[in-house]
Amino acid sequence: MRFHSPQKLKTIADLIGSKFVGPEDFEVLGTNEIHMVKPGDIVFVNHPKYYDKALNSAATIILIDKEVDCPEGKALLVSDDPFRDFNKINTHFTRIYNFTEQLHDVEIGEGTKIHSSAVIGNNVKIGKNTLIFPNVVIGDRTVIGDNVIIQSNTVLGGDAFYYRKLNGNFDRLISVGNVVIENNVEIGNGCTIDRGVTDSTVIGEGSVLDNQIQIGHDTIIGKRCLIASQVGIAGCCVIGDEVTLWGQVGIASGNTIESGSVLLGKTGVNRDLEKGTYIGMFAEDFKTYLKKEVKLRNLK
């Protein structure tokens, strides 16, 4: 999430009541979670296991629960609860409506048709010649391109599935990102595409999604991808261009699939994949799998 205007380190520290390490006028441009950070971003970390990853990331402001040596060119915000204060920063700069207030600031392009039963949030942009079917829900800040088809009961921009366990309960990291649907995308019935925690969940130009597909927060789907029914993609994945995912493929969070790959039905992915064709619970190369099956069948 980028702030509307640059902030100063001391301003953010005062907002959350934290100590800071670094010049008080150190520039702060926004927030992001660890998979998506860029220079100028705040990233939070609340466990020593991940200190090095956060401190050495592209983020230049680290919201941390212990004062540590600050890398050159970076700054620290030292908080007793970085998770809580990350939420506080995000909701201070991004208002959360959750359909509780009247529709406003919606842009709709020429030739677009929206069924009367669709529900549209705030600050939404919809391009030209797009079709929105009955009972579609479009959350705040969603951006939809031209010539898009979104079929019935699909939800764009639901909350990210991102929690911590606190005092025996689950505490939500509040989602202030959005969903971006590029031009010429088709989305089937009953799909759910979560908005980014602090960035965008993106469906690339010309991609086609079947029914009942779940796409997690901050995931990037490339151009001209084909995704069959009941695929589940966790958060912060990167799917390259012209990737085909057949029915019930499951992809764990933070993984990258190289452009041109094909994942056959029920393939499970728990690591990055180079271009190829894969099958099986742990995404085995398809030709290797066939050779193994032949050998097994020929055993006497």
At residue 103, the pLDDT reads: 67
Low-confidence spans in the chain with pLDDT less than 70: 103, 300
Helix (H, G, I), strand (E, B) or coil at 193: strand
Q: Which residues pair with 138 in a beta bridge?
A: 120, 156
206 domain-assigned: yes
* Surface-to-core class of residue 256, CB atoms within 10 Å of its CB (0-12 exposed, 13-18 middle, 19+ buried): middle
Q: Which residues pair with 273 in a beta bridge?
A: 257
Q: Give the domain range for residue 47.
A: 2-94
**DSSP E strands: which ranges in 22-102?**
27-31, 41-45, 61-64, 75-78
CATH of the domain at 37: 3.40.1390.10
Do 113 and 239 sit in the same domain of this protein? yes
At residue 300, the pLDDT reads: 61
Mean pLDDT taken over the chain: 96
The amino acid sitting at 161 is: F
Do 54 and 12 sit in the same domain of this protein? yes
Place of tokens 């700069």: 93
293 domain-assigned: no
The per-residue DSSP string of 122-176 comes to SS-EE-TT-EE-TT-EE-TT-EE-SS-EE-TT-EEEEPP--EEEETTEEEEPPP-
At residue 97, the pLDDT reads: 87
CA distances, 234 to each of 69, 81, 178, 201, 249 (Å): 34, 26, 16, 11, 11
Do 26 and 156 sit in the same domain of this protein? no
Last residue in a domain, options 68, 94, 120: 94
Question: What positions carry a catalytic annotation?
Answer: 217
288 domain-assigned: no
Q: Are strands 41-45 and 238-239 parallel, antiparallel or unpaired?
A: unpaired
Structural domain count, the chain: 2
Do 64 and 189 sit in the same domain of this protein? no
Do 111 and 252 sit in the same domain of this protein? yes
Model confidence over 51-65: pLDDT tens digits?
A: 999 999 999 999 999
Do 11 and 117 sit in the same domain of this protein? no
Model confidence over 190-202: pLDDT tens digits?
A: 999 999 999 999 9
**Whole-model pTM?**
0.94
Do 11 and 139 sit in the same domain of this protein? no
Do 169 and 254 sit in the same domain of this protein? yes
The amino acid sitting at 285 is: D
Do 200 and 120 sit in the same domain of this protein? yes
Do 82 and 115 sit in the same domain of this protein? no
CA distances, 108 to each of 33, 128, 146, 167 (Å): 31, 7, 10, 45
294 domain-assigned: no
Written as six digits, the tokens of 116 are 């009367």
Residues 6+ positions from 218 with CB-CB distance below 8 Å: 33, 35, 36, 160, 177, 196, 197, 198, 199, 200, 201, 235, 236
Whether the CB-CB separation of 148 and 130 falls below 8 Å is answered with yes
Do 223 and 136 sit in the same domain of this protein? yes
Do 166 and 55 sit in the same domain of this protein? no
CATH of the domain at 256: 2.160.10.10
60 domain-assigned: yes
